[in-house]
Structure 1
Amino acid sequence: MSNLRTLVFFATPPHDCSYLPDREATTMFVDPRANVDKKLYSQLTALGFRRSGSHYYRPHCEHCNACVPVRLKVDQFQPDRNQRRVLRKNEDLSCRMVPAAFSERYYRLYAHYIEERHRDGDMYPPSREQFTSFLVDGATDSWFLEISLGDELAGLAAVDLLDDGLSAIYTIFAPELEDRSLGTFAVLWQIEEARRRGLPHLYLGYWIRECRKMNYKTRFKPIEALRDGHWRELQSD
């Protein structure tokens, strides 16, 4: 079994940054041959790594530290006025956690979401192989949060269970339900699930101050940022 002391890491060549224009990025990956169990995955997440399928990675850019790992302190969270409005708006939804696995039903929602909202991104065009390699492969203690409106699947959130919290991997939803703010709703649901399980944190991935798409993360407070190897409360504008 691998551990932090025996892990080998690799860095990609510099490539165009996906978030900030006119910048290059370098990504550090855990050796894909490593046997990463839940304990090691939890340790890596606390060090700022994320999971994408069977790959564990974190930014490793020579001249940029814009990508900041963030996590929410679950026991201190109180929804603000807008978040309470989102909860009220979605009282008619039903939610359940199921083991992460491929299904045609999930894929149809995924493809619809990518085609409508991310045609300009590197996930377009969607494919079943892409869905599986991104959201199913490499699952350790991994789950899908099904969000349903009646008999219809309205949203799907990939969630990993860690030793010290939940890790929010990715959320998709039916584009025609955009006014329900299902991305925010999924985070709020995961906060309550972490609280129900007695877990202290919800990991929300990376936050970039200059990236408007990530502004929503700092609306969940108190949120902590990993800087210089220490988690401290993020003071955002």
Structure 2
Amino acid sequence: MTVHHPQTPQFFLTSPSPCPYLPGRAERKVFTHLLGERAPGLLDLLSQGGFRRSQNIAYRPACERCRACVSVRILVDEFSPGKSMKRVLSKNRDLVGRMSSPSPSSEQYSLFRRYIDHRHASGGMAEMSVLDYAMMVEDSQVDTRLIEYRRRGPDSSFSAASDGDLVAVALSDVMADGMSMVYSFFDPYEDERSLGTYMILDHIERTRKLGLAYLYLGYWVDGSKKMAYKIRFQPQEHLAPNGWELYQG
């Protein structure tokens, strides 16, 4: 008989399902639960091995014949934005980002629905209800923050009450060695702002100010146009069979 120590995580393997990034391929994931006081420490440990968090689940790809998904983290102290990224920062100088505890709102959900319907109408999140969204935001037993990006009002420097419209949202975890961007979305009709790039740049600076070394971006998928943007933020490390290695591409 096998006896499981209550502090030992149990891992499970999903059944094969269509890959959302590479057509014609199937994906499988290995996952475990993040529960109780041990959840933050377990997430720190698992993140070193390429796991990501979704609500109270930590998971990573476990595909039998494919290794296209590669964990990526930015070295924030060595990062310096290039000319195009500086232009993105300049375009968004009229925004203010406020970090708080993860609390969902109807305003966030309206923006989320607009983003999903415009960018990912056929994706796995297309059927998410307002309750599903609330669970995505609130169901965390680690140090999770929610950052709202709004148009800067005339008195935003003094009071959040004067902030303008919500244009982007990021849900992020703070870990022992860095921040991890769990999920983000933005107004799809503000294309000229490059809000996805802007939020990553903002997170790099927030991670640096927290005195942490890395910004975890999840998976770069070789061959997927959806994930190609992650390579732009260098220097960065990729998780290889022998550990984290500096990306030389």
- State the match for 1:140 in structure 2: 142
- State the match for 1:95 in structure 2: 97
- State the match for 1:14 in structure 2: 16
- State the match for 2:115 in structure 1: 113
Question: For residue 225 of structure 2, what is the amino acid of its counterpart?
Answer: R
Measured against aligned partners, the alpha-carbon deviations of 1:181-230 in whole angstroms (never above 9, x if no partner) come to 11100000000011101100000000011001111111000010001140
- State the match for 2:203 in structure 1: 190
* Distance in 1, Cα, partners of 2:58 & 2:6: 13
User: How do 1:207-222 and structure 2 match up within 5 A?
Assistant: 207-222=220-235
1:40 counterpart SS class: helix
Going from structure 1 to structure 2, the CA distance change for 1:227 and 1:2 (only over 3 Å counts) comes to farther
Going from structure 1 to structure 2, the CA distance change for 1:82 and 1:234 (only over 3 Å counts) comes to same
- State the match for 1:128 in structure 2: 130
Q: How many residues align?
A: 234
- State the match for 1:233 in structure 2: 246
Give the share of equivalent positions with the same residue, in percent.
39
* Distance in 2, Cα, partners of 1:12 & 1:67: 16
Answer whether contact 2:173 2:182 (CA < 8 A) is retained.
yes
- State the match for 1:173 in structure 2: 186
For structure 1, list consecutive stretches of 5 or more residues without a partner in the other structure.
Answer: none
Answer whether contact 2:36 2:141 (CA < 8 A) is retained.
no
Question: For residue 51 of structure 1, what is the amino acid of its counterpart?
Answer: R
* Distance in 1, Cα, partners of 2:182 & 2:40: 15
Answer whether contact 1:114 1:125 (CA < 8 A) is retained.
no
User: How do 1:155-166 and structure 2 match up within 5 A?
Assistant: 155-166=168-179
Deviation at 1:43, TM superposition (A): 1.1
Please provide the CA RMSD for this pair.
1.7
Going from structure 1 to structure 2, the CA distance change for 1:73 and 1:126 (only over 3 Å counts) comes to same
User: How do 1:143-154 and structure 2 match up within 5 A?
Assistant: 143-150=145-152, 151-154=164-167
Deviation at 1:38, TM superposition (A): 1.4
* Distance in 1, Cα, partners of 2:6 & 2:126: 34
Is 1:25 equivalent to 2:23 in the alignment?
no
TM-score for both structures, normalised by structure 2? 0.89
Question: For residue 79 of structure 1, what is the amino acid of its counterpart?
Answer: P
* Distance in 2, Cα, partners of 1:229 & 1:57: 20
Question: For residue 68 of structure 1, what is the amino acid of its counterpart?
Answer: V
Which sits farther off after the overlay, 74-83 or 127-136?
Answer: 127-136
- State the match for 1:80 in structure 2: 82
Answer whether contact 2:28 2:62 (CA < 8 A) is retained.
yes
1:37 counterpart SS class: helix
- State the match for 2:59 in structure 1: 57
Answer whether contact 2:34 2:43 (CA < 8 A) is retained.
no
Which sits farther off after the overlay, 118-127 or 48-57?
Answer: 118-127
* Distance in 2, Cα, partners of 1:33 & 1:146: 27
Going from structure 1 to structure 2, the CA distance change for 1:160 and 1:215 (only over 3 Å counts) comes to same
2:99 counterpart SS class: strand
* Distance in 2, Cα, partners of 1:214 & 1:2: 37
1:176 counterpart SS class: coil
